[in-house]
Amino acid sequence: MSNVEETIARIYTINFSKAWLTPRHKRTDRVVNMIKEFAIKHMKSSQIKIDQDLNRYVWQKGKTNPPRKVRVRIVKDEDDQVIVSLYEDIINEPMSTSSTKEDSTVLDTESSNTNDNSSIKDIKNDNTKSKENNKK
């Protein structure tokens, strides 16, 4: 046999519509069981572990309001250990666009500071004029 590690990684979207057939106070428990059942069925292994981030995502809204569906990444090791984790789609934006946005916000705050100073001067001038009018 070969010495190369055999890991299988797949991405699935799991629909939890059947969880709404269970009583309201058991829905999130049912969703966790559905994730395990799905992984057993598709990866042909009984050793299933749910990642902590996925578990927190499922339990985020409490026991009665789990998500309707979730996108997961299922990885099977060579030891038939299956890890189900939350799939995170990473979007890489060019660095130049983000730096120009930061520069423009810095310029905006600087210009707003000069406007604030001029408005303060206007208020002081108005106050001195009103005092002069009161003296007359």
- pLDDT (0 to 100) of residue 105: 46
- pLDDT (0 to 100) of residue 1: 46
Q: Which CATH architecture is the domain 8-86 placed in?
A: Roll (3.10)
- pLDDT (0 to 100) of residue 73: 96
- pLDDT (0 to 100) of residue 135: 62
Alpha-carbon gap, residue 14 to 40, rounded angstroms: 13
In Å, what is the CA distance from 35 to each residue of 29, 95, 117, 132?
Answer: 10, 37, 59, 79
β-pair partners for 128: none
- pLDDT (0 to 100) of residue 93: 52
Q: What is the full per-residue pLDDT of the chain (136 aa) written as tens digits? A: 445 568 899 999 999 999 999 999 999 999 999 999 999 999 999 999 999 999 999 999 999 999 999 999 999 999 999 999 999 875 555 555 554 444 544 445 455 555 555 555 566 566 666 656 666 5
Alpha-carbon gap, residue 101 to 108, rounded angstroms: 11
